[in-house]
Amino acid sequence: MKKLLLFLLILGGAYYWGADLAAPPAAIPTPARTQAPADTLTLRDVREQYRLWHDFRGAFEAHLDRSRFTPVEELPLFLRQAIIATEDRRFYEHGAVDLMSIARAAVSNYQAGDVQEGASTITQQVVKTVLLSDERTWLRKGQEVLLAIRMEYAYDKDEILEIYLNTIYYGSGATGIGEAARTYFDTTPAALSLAQCAMLAGLPQAPSARNPFSDYEGAKERQRTVLTLMVRQGMISPTTAENAYAEDLGLAAAP
């Protein structure tokens, strides 16, 4: 129970501290990945890191290689829709965190006595991918929430989606949508079909288990799930989804 209360305290404190962003700290050190294990962080550590990262955008950009990015305006609408439908359907409606999902996951995790169920938004996933470790502890989750809230002060939603698509791991050694399009389909992101977009959107959650090179049937099953979610959210019609599912993927040769 103490862990749950501490996590909720961190979440509530994030909004309080967010209102104090205009006051710059006395000094801004060069940002770096946290070296200590996430479960050794104290609430004071998290708050201090949050305050010191006043220039969050500059600090965050130091961790990105934009020379490998595909700009969001060059990405197919179907790809953006497929990712949102699969990963965070209310992405453009909520802030850095989805409080309803967090509340549901917090109850589930408390009952399990550990962090077993996630409720991460796309913004939180970006923060975790670029800045944090994969450790599943309450304090590391609290740190993720704080940084995600800070990120949404510094970037708009389209920018965050662009970073997500260009930094997430898609399996088979492909990080970012440019590498994924070349690896799986020997093409560019702009030329991806709906069928290919749905396949790629299904990979980030389990890039090894659903890899079409190693488990084609499993990847096709996941592709159908993505297409179904897009239909449910009014992004495509049922007929369009069926046609995309039946379409030949045009897979490249396995690396």
Q: Encode pLDDT of 175-215 as tens digits.
A: 999 999 999 999 999 999 999 999 999 999 888 888 899 99
Query: Is domain 168-246 given the CATH code 1.20.210.10 in the classification?
Result: no
Residue with tokens 């790809």: 79
Return the closest-CA partner of residue 146 out of 4, 44, 35.
Answer: 44
- The per-residue pLDDT of the chain, averaged, comes to 79
- pLDDT of res. 207: 87
- Give Cα separations from 236 to 78, 80, 94, 111, 219 (angstroms): 9, 13, 23, 38, 20
187: left (phi over 0), alpha (psi -120 to 50) or beta: beta
Return the closest-CA partner of residue 252 out of 194, 198, 212, 219.
Answer: 212
Return the closest-CA partner of residue 212 out of 167, 248, 176.
Answer: 248
- pLDDT of res. 132: 81
Residue 116 has pLDDT above 90, yes or no: no
- Answer yes or no: are the C-beta atoms of 110 and 4 closer than 8 Å: yes
232/226 Cα distance (integer angstroms): 10
Residue with tokens 């898609």: 170
- pLDDT of res. 77: 96
pTM for the model stands at 0.75
Domain ranges, ordered by start, for the chain = 2-66+92-155, 168-246
Each residue's pLDDT tens digit, 6-62? 444 444 444 333 333 333 333 333 334 444 444 556 676 666 565 555 678 888 898
